[in-house]
């Protein structure tokens, strides 16, 4: 078998050194009841060619985003990733390297993590960032737990701007810890949510997403002030990190913790994962941060180097007193993020953001020109919500039959709420062309 180097001659010789007659001897501690002859009931080994054929056939049953006009967002966004990124992350020394616990021989990994942390802090307008988390939703839940530790309170208030999956993940994690969560109703664009009234003396944190699930840009300043007045923290959630190339970052609006999804930079859609969670906060809270942290130091010769640090917060040392049970970060996805952002640079990143917004504005304008379609948002980045004259789910289904992936029905993630049935959340990034927009409008007219 191509991945197994031992030959029969090797095995015989090694058994001789070990002093065992056969490999079965080495499994003698397995209880009788659990021993089985033969092989598990699954197909036998295959060569590369056969595996390729089978998986290519399976993949071909999917409609890939590059093959049709594509307008779906909802927390994962299709952007163009330059060729250099995928090429670099496939280098052996990045792809097949282990966690940098031996810093002397992993300065490559540690240095890019330090660069990543700096980039995330700069984008979010915060002091420090960690070396990434699994994704935006788990970063959000971990931020809530961190707020509980900092404020020594237990109650989280979740804005109706929050992505429904993120809300569910927070609720699940808080329920495990016995901590109460107050989640507001979905915050439709055009209506100001009265979240400030819900902040009380027992509130540990307020969680607000911008751009919201419905694409609306939210002013966090008043919410931050109100939270701070009651001794609570503001956690800002950014699902589309490219927005920070054009929009005021939460760090400048009073956020205490900023979490986000970094998938938009360097990472493809991948049907939901792997993604890369971003987590940033103020210096004073650094010892309460979950996840890995990379820090600068010097070696025995006085040369600058980098190491994982503040590890005593983590599970392998604190065990039951750890800040969380996290073991991995999103390593290679964080590298892809860092490389892509390095290619973009200050000017490129800002221009990319402007292109995204411009495309969304043009699309919004074109769609609201269709009879019966109403654009709900006042201020948005690259995603907005339109109200249709009929069920958004039915419309999206029909659009798919016409070869257009035209957005996300709001009710898909918030079922059982009739007010959302006709709402369609539409995203547009730099990948969309004039032709895409024209195709979408034409198909929508036919379907309505």
Q: Scanning residues 230 to 289, which ones bind other proteins (CB under 8 A)?
A: 244-249, 268-276, 286-287
Residue 356 exposure: Cα atoms within 13 Å on the Cβ side = 30
Q: Which one among 206, 255, 355, 426 touches other proteins, defined by CB under 8 A? A: 355
How many binding residues for other proteins (CB under 8 A)? 210
Residue number with CB closer to other proteins (48 or 194): 48
Hey, which residues between 15 and 54 contact other proteins (CB under 8 A)?
A: 15, 17-20, 23, 25-31, 33-36, 39-48, 50-52, 54
Hey, which residues between 102 and 131 contact other proteins (CB under 8 A)?
A: 102-109, 111-112, 114-115, 117-119, 121-123, 127-129, 131
Residue number with CB closer to other proteins (95 or 200): 95
What's the closest the beta carbon of residue 423 comes to other proteins, in angstroms? Answer: 14
Q: Are the C-beta atoms of residues 253 and 224 closer than 8 Å to each other?
A: yes
CA distances from 448 to 147, 213, 370, 441 (A): 46, 24, 9, 11
Residue number with CB closer to other proteins (3 or 435): 3
What's the closest the beta carbon of residue 257 comes to other proteins, in angstroms? Answer: 15
Strands lying side by side in the sheet with 383-387: 374-375, 383-387, 423-427, 408-409
Q: Are the C-beta atoms of residues 276 and 267 closer than 8 Å to each other?
A: yes
Hey, which residues between 142 and 181 contact other proteins (CB under 8 A)?
A: 163, 165-166, 168-169, 171-173, 175-178
Residue number with CB closer to other proteins (17 or 197): 17
Q: Are the C-beta atoms of residues 232 and 169 closer than 8 Å to each other?
A: no
Q: Which one among 146, 335, 423, 424 touches other proteins, defined by CB under 8 A? A: 335
394 Cβ contact list (under 8 Å, min separation 6): none
Q: Which one among 196, 370, 400, 442 touches other proteins, defined by CB under 8 A? A: 400
Contact between 438 and other proteins (CB under 8 A)?
no
Peptide bond into 359 cis (omega under 30): no
Contact between 203 and other proteins (CB under 8 A)?
no
Contact between 292 and other proteins (CB under 8 A)?
yes
Ramachandran category for residue 72: left, alpha or beta (phi over 0 → left; psi -120 to 50 → alpha): beta
Write out the two tokens for 35. 């021993």
Contact between 446 and other proteins (CB under 8 A)?
no
Q: Are the C-beta atoms of residues 154 and 180 closer than 8 Å to each other?
A: yes
What's the closest the beta carbon of residue 106 comes to other proteins, in angstroms? Answer: 5
92 Cβ contact list (under 8 Å, min separation 6): none
Query: Alpha-carbon torsion 51, 57, 63, 66, what sign?
Result: positive
What's the closest the beta carbon of residue 214 comes to other proteins, in angstroms? Answer: 14
């Amino acid at each position: 078998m191509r991945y197994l180097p031992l030959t029969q001659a090797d095995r015989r010789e090694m058994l001789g050194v070990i002093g065992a007659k056969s490999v079965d001897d080495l499994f003698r501690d397995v209880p009788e009841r659990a021993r089985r002859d033969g092989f598990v009931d699954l197909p036998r080994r295959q060569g590369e060619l056969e595996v390729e054929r089978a998986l290519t056939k399976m993949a071909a049953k999917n409609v890939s985003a590059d093959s049709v006009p594509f307008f779906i967002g909802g927390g994962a966004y299709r952007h163009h990733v330059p060729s250099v990124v995928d090429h670099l992350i496939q280098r052996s020394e990045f792809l097949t390297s282990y966690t940098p616990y031996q810093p002397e021989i992993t300065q490559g990994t540690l240095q890019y993590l330090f660069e990543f942390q700096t980039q995330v802090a700069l984008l979010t307008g915060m002091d420090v960032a960690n070396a990434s988390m699994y994704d935006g939703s788990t970063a959000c839940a971990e931020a809530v737990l961190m707020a509980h530790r900092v404020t020594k309170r237990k109650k989280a208030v979740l804005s109706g701007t929050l992505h429904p999956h993120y809300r569910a993940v927070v609720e699940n994690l808080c329920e495990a810890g016995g901590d109460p969560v107050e989640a507001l109703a979905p915050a439709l664009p055009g209506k100001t949510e009265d979240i400030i009234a819900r902040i009380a003396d027992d509130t540990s944190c307020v969680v607000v997403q911008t751009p919201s699930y419905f694409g609306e840009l939210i002013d966090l300043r008043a919410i931050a002030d109100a939270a701070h007045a009651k001794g609570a923290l503001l956690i800002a959630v950014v699902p589309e990190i490219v927005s920070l190339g054009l929009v005021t970052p939460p760090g400048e609006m009073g956020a205490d913790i900023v979490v986000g999804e970094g998938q938009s930079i360097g990472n493809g859609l991948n049907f939901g994962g792997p993604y890369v969670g971003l987590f940033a906060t103020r210096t004073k809270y650094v010892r309460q941060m979950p996840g890995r942290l990379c820090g600068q130091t010097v070696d025995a010769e006085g040369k600058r180097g980098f190491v994982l640090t503040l590890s005593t917060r983590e599970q392998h040392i604190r065990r039951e007193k750890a800040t969380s049970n996290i073991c991995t970060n999103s390593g290679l996805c964080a590298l892809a993020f860092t490389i892509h952002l390095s290619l973009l640079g200050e000017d490129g990143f800002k221009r990319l953001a402007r292109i995204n917004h411009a495309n969304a504005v043009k699309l919004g304008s074109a769609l609201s020109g269709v009879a019966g379609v109403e654009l709900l948002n006042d201020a948005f980045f690259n995603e907005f919500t339109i109200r249709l004259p009929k069920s958004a789910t039915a419309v999206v289904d029909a659009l798919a039959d016409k070869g257009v992936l035209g957005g996300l029905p709001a009710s898909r993630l918030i079922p059982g709420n009739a007010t959302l049935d006709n709402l369609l959340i539409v995203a547009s990034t730099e990948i969309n062309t004039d032709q895409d927009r024209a195709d979408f409008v034409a198909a929508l007219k036919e379907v309505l």
